Copies of this chain bind each other. A is one copy, B any other.
Amino acid sequence: MLLGSIEAGGTKFICAVGNEDYRIKDKVQIPTTTPEETLTAVVDYFKQFKLDALGIASFGPIEIRKTSPKYGYITTTPKKGWANTDFLGFIKKSINVPISWTTDVNGSAFGEYTMSTLFNEKIESLVYYTIGTGVGAGAVIDGHLVGSAGHPEMGHVLLKRHPDDLNFKGICPYHHDCLEGLVAGPTFEARTGKKGQDVPLTDKTWDILAYYIAQAAIQVTLILRPNKIVFGGGVTNKVLLEKVRSEFKNILNDYVKVPPLDQYITMPQVANNGSANIGNFALAENLLLK
C-alpha cells in the first residue's frame, strides 16, 4: 500500500509517501509561494507514485464541514494569496484517490493518537496543542477528530490572569489576552524585548506561560476527559512542560483523577514535528478501510 501525505504550512509544504506501517519512503519540501505554483509542484511530486490514498493537513482556517460548498478550501487565512483557495479541489483534479482533509493540528493530533495506539497504549482520546508563532489544537475522541461545526480553535480561549502579568495586554489581534495572545512565541518579545530562545529557562516569564498553558490543559481535562494531552511547537520544551505539570496539579487540586502527569502532559512521541505526517498516512488509510 502506498499512502501520501501533504503537511501544508505557511512557509513550506512537506510532501511524503509511505507504506501501511507509516514508514516514509520518500519526502520533499516545497516552498509556500502562490497557490498555483505550490500546488502544481505538489501534484507533480505525487504523479511519480501510484498512491492508494492521500492525507492532507493544512494551515487554516479551512473548511472541514463536508456539507459546505467550500469544503476543502483554505478560507480566511491572513497568508497572502491563499484566502479562499480550493486546495482540495485543485489536488483532486489530478490525483484520483481517496483524500482526507483536515487541519495541520488535527493531523498532528491524529498522528500522536495513532502512534500511541500502535504501541499498545490504552488510549481512546487525545488532545494535541502546538505552541509556536500561534497556538492551535486538535482533539481525537474514540478514534474520531472533533469538530461538528468546524475545526477547534482552542488557542483563543480566555484565561485567569497570572498575578505578575496583569499589565501585559496580550498580542492576539482578535482577543488580546486569549491563550494565543498570552503564550505564543512572539509574546516573549512583547514582554521582555528578547526572542523566546534567548530568554533563560530560569526567567519568570516561563512560569507565567506555564500557568496559562496549565489552564488550557485544565480546560480540556474538565471538558473532554482525554487520556493524554500532547504539547508540540517551537515554544514547548521539557523544562516548560515540567512547570506546566506543577501548575496543573495546583489548579486541579485533585478534583478529578488523571493519569500520572509525566504520561498525561507530554511532548510529542514523533520527533521533529513529524506527527502530522503519521496522522495523514493513518487518516488516508482509514478511507480505504471504510
Whether, in the assembled complex, A224 has its beta carbon less than 8 Å from a beta carbon of chain B, the answer is yes
Q: Which of these, B153, B157, B158, B227, contacts A149 with CB under 8 Å? A: B227
Q: Closest approach, in angstroms, between the C-beta of A63 and any C-beta of chain B?
A: 10
Interface residues in A45-87 by Cβ distance below 8 A to B read: 61
Q: How far is the CB of A218 from chain B (nearest CB, A)?
A: 6
Number of this chain's copies in the assembly equals 2
**Given A61-B256, A219-B223, 9 additional A-B pairs, CB 8 A:** A124-B148, A146-B224, A146-B225, A148-B226, A149-B225, A152-B224, A157-B218, A159-B159, A159-B160
Task: List the B side residues contacting A245 at CB < 8 Å.
Answer: none
- The chain A residues found within 8 Å of chain B, CB to CB, are 61, 124-125, 137, 139, 141-142, 144, 146-161, 174-175, 177, 215, 218-220, 222-227, 251, 253, 255-259
With A142-B144, A174-B255, A219-B219: A225-B159 Cβ-Cβ less than 8 Å: no
Asked if residues B251 and A175 are in contact (CB atoms below 8 Å), the reply is: yes
CB distance from A102 to the nearest CB of B (A): 13
Q: Let me know if B223 and A256 touch, CB within 8 A.
A: no
Q: A153-B222, A224-B223, A225-B152 are in contact. Are A251 and B158 (CB under 8 A)?
A: yes
The CA of A198 and the CA of B156, in the complex, are separated in Å by 36
Chain B residues whose C-beta falls within 8 Å of the C-beta of A226 in the assembled complex: 148-149
- Please, how many angstroms separate the alpha-carbon atoms of A253 and B154 in the complex? 15
28 contacts between A and B (CB under 8 A): A125-B149, A141-B144, A141-B146, A141-B148, A146-B223, A146-B224, A146-B225, A148-B224, A148-B226, A148-B227, A149-B225, A149-B226, A149-B257, A150-B256, A150-B257, A152-B223, A152-B224, A152-B225, A155-B222, A157-B223, A158-B160, A158-B251, A159-B159, A160-B161, A161-B161, A174-B255, A175-B255, A224-B224
B158 touching A258, Cβ below 8 Å: no
**Beta-carbon contact of B223 and A139 below 8 Å:** yes
A250 to B157, CA, bound (A): 13
| Cβ of A62 to closest chain B Cβ, rounded Å | 12
**Is A222 in contact with B156, judged by CB distance below 8 angstroms?**
yes
* The 7 nearest A-B residue pairs measured at CB: A158-B160, A124-B148, A125-B148, A149-B225, A147-B225, A153-B222, A150-B225
Question: Cβ of A146: which chain B residues have Cβ within 8 Å of it?
Answer: 141, 223-225
